[in-house]
Copies of this chain bind each other. A is one copy, B any other.
């Protein structure tokens, strides 16, 4: 039997600069020190190094940092497929934390699973790196909404 996978359509050939520009305008990404480490049509990876400012009560990566990276990576995976004049917003995301954020570096790799006219569904995996070994530590699914003809910049 044939399985029909969705082919991703790149509506904006300048999507890399558009995504990076949007990311750079996020004050929260600067505060926490996250960076985009991978970007393809329908895919985004974001990573962050451990610092005491990013921890929960026993010194591991805070669940909120995991959620923030997960939401953001899903958002930009979706945004990579949108048109130059679109903006987007997060409808919802769910994060399953599968292991402690115990390591030097946290990263999220998010993929678009389905890009609809309005809604895009993404899935991502979170990885924690400790002494050179990476382990999956989280699973995220998210719904993003395209806002046609909406500025992605402040007023």
Instruction: Tell me if A80 is interfacial: C-beta within 8 Å of chain B.
Output: no
**Distance of A127 Cα from B118 Cα, bound (Å):** 21
Instruction: Tell me if A100 is interfacial: C-beta within 8 Å of chain B.
Output: yes
**Distance of A93 Cα from B100 Cα, bound (Å):** 15
Number of copies: 4
21 inter-chain pairs at a CB distance below 8 angstroms, sorted by A residue, are A3-B127, A3-B135, A4-B133, A4-B135, A6-B136, A25-B57, A26-B62, A27-B62, A57-B153, A58-B153, A58-B154, A59-B154, A64-B72, A90-B97, A92-B94, A92-B95, A92-B143, A94-B94, A96-B113, A118-B145, A121-B139
A54-92, CB < 8 A from B: 54-59, 62-65, 67-69, 71-72, 75, 87, 89-92
A81-134, CB < 8 A from B: 87, 89-100, 113-114, 116, 118-119, 121, 123, 127, 129, 132-134
Choose among B22, B68, B127 the residue that contacts A57 (Cβ–Cβ < 8 A): B22
